[in-house]
Amino acid sequence: MKFLDLAKVYIRSGGGGGGCISFRREKFIEYGGPDGGDGGDGGDVVAEAVDGLNTLIDFRYQQHFFAKNGQPGQGSQRTGRDGPDVVLRVPVGTEILDEDEETVIADLTEVGQRVVLARGGNGGFGNLHFKTSTNQAPRRANPGQPGVERTLWLRLKLIADAGLLGLPNAGKSTFLAATSNARPKIADYPFTTLHPNLGVVGVDNAEFVIADIPGLIEGAHEGRGLGDMFLGHVERCAVLLHLVDGTSETVAEDYRTIIGELEAYGGELADKPRVTALNKIDALSDEEREERVAELTEALGHAPMLMSGVSREGVTDVLRAVRAQISEDRLRRKRAEDGEEEDAPWRP
């Protein structure tokens, strides 16, 4: 299934049915009177967060969602039938934006959460509604209210506890594959990862979700490379794991590039807790390792963690450092959702 995290939809709620003008004309009834029923309400357009979806690809093939109109009222005091609602089933973590792509209408972060995007029009009153002691034969009825038509954007932000950051080919996908059951595409060239990947990792009898996004390059906030279109997927994370390629000869500059892109992106992303690790140390000699650590320590202000996603050296320590930045509430919730025992051992 192709990953899609942004979609444009056109919605329209149903219009209300018109009221009915009708009078009783029955044999052996001396006095008739108005008996026109009210029109039915139009259908709503509703968005609902459901389980089992992780992409908006369904909205690539269907963009128009129109609810049915309410039926008009009828004689004998019969009210028209309401129009059925139209439900947009979206993944958990979907933001619903107005047409300007900036105004957030709703943020669906829990399974079962619903929001009415366009309310159907009310049905019109029939002439029975206007009967009074001084107007016993009203000849008027209200038309139904029209529906609401609008254009919206759906933007998916994956629900994850930790996010992976780094330049292209920093080893993020290798790390995810080594610590979880996720199987992202791995190759020895940049921009192998073209869409985000999720993996459930565990350490010390606790599990959490890590999101791997495509690598950033300098100027990503201006649209260079894959741009910053995927940074929204780590906005909900509690902690960021920044991997620096140890085989690069400019590790300090690589580190500053990513930090600069986070600051240029804005919001609270640059202020989130970060764990910085020097990756691919298995490919370095002892002398090269010392040089890279010293250079990165000067840029960081403290010593980075050391690890290798291939040999798995230092991976457990990095996972424990990430785990320490995630609140117990999030971890317990993940275990409850997955139905796992808290004391179940983790096997990498």
Question: Token digits for 66?
Answer: 């129109």
Instruction: Calculate mean pLDDT across residues 122-132.
Output: 91
Residue 208 marked as a ligand binder:
no
Higher pLDDT, residue 94 or 188: 94
- Cα gap 285→347, rounded to integer Å: 30
Residue 166 marked as a ligand binder:
yes
Q: What pLDDT, in 10s, does the model give residues 70-121? A: 999 998 889 999 999 999 999 888 889 999 888 889 988 888 899 999 999 9
Residue 214 marked as a ligand binder:
yes
Residue 302 marked as a ligand binder:
no
Residue 8 marked as a ligand binder:
no
DSSP 252: H
Domains detected in the chain: 1-156 (2.70.210.12), 162-338 (3.40.50.300)
How large a percentage of the chain has pLDDT more than 90?
Answer: 25
Residue 169 marked as a ligand binder:
yes
Least confident of 22-26, 145-149, 215-219, 323-327: 215-219
Contact (Cβ atoms closer than 8 angstroms) between residue 49 and residue 112: yes
pLDDT value, residue 194: 58
Residue 106 marked as a ligand binder:
no
Asked whether the predicted pLDDT for residue 342 surpasses 50, the reply is: no
pLDDT value, residue 26: 78
Q: What pLDDT, in 10s, does the model give residues 264-287? A: 876 677 788 888 888 888 888 888
pLDDT value, residue 292: 86
- Cα gap 281→245, rounded to integer Å: 9
Residue 186 marked as a ligand binder:
no
Residue 272 marked as a ligand binder:
no
Say if residue 347 is exposed, middle or buried (CB neighbours under 10 Å; 0-12, 13-18, 19+): exposed
Residue 159 marked as a ligand binder:
no
Least confident of 68-82, 205-219, 306-320, 325-339: 325-339
pLDDT value, residue 334: 45
Residue 173 marked as a ligand binder:
yes
The stretches of the chain forming alpha helices (DSSP H) are 58-61, 172-179, 251-265, 286-300, 315-324, 328-338
Residue 233 marked as a ligand binder:
no
Residue 177 marked as a ligand binder:
no
Contact (Cβ atoms closer than 8 angstroms) between residue 55 and residue 2: yes
Residue 168 marked as a ligand binder:
yes
How many other CB atoms sit within 10 Å of the CB of residue 28?
Answer: 4
pLDDT value, residue 25: 79
Q: What pLDDT, in 10s, does the model give residues 130-175? A: 988 888 889 999 999 999 999 999 988 877 788 888 888 777 778 8
Residue 152 marked as a ligand binder:
no
Residue 96 marked as a ligand binder:
no
Contact (Cβ atoms closer than 8 angstroms) between residue 12 and residue 66: yes
pLDDT value, residue 229: 61
Residue 22 marked as a ligand binder:
no
Residue 279 marked as a ligand binder:
yes
Residue 172 marked as a ligand binder:
yes
Residue 280 marked as a ligand binder:
yes
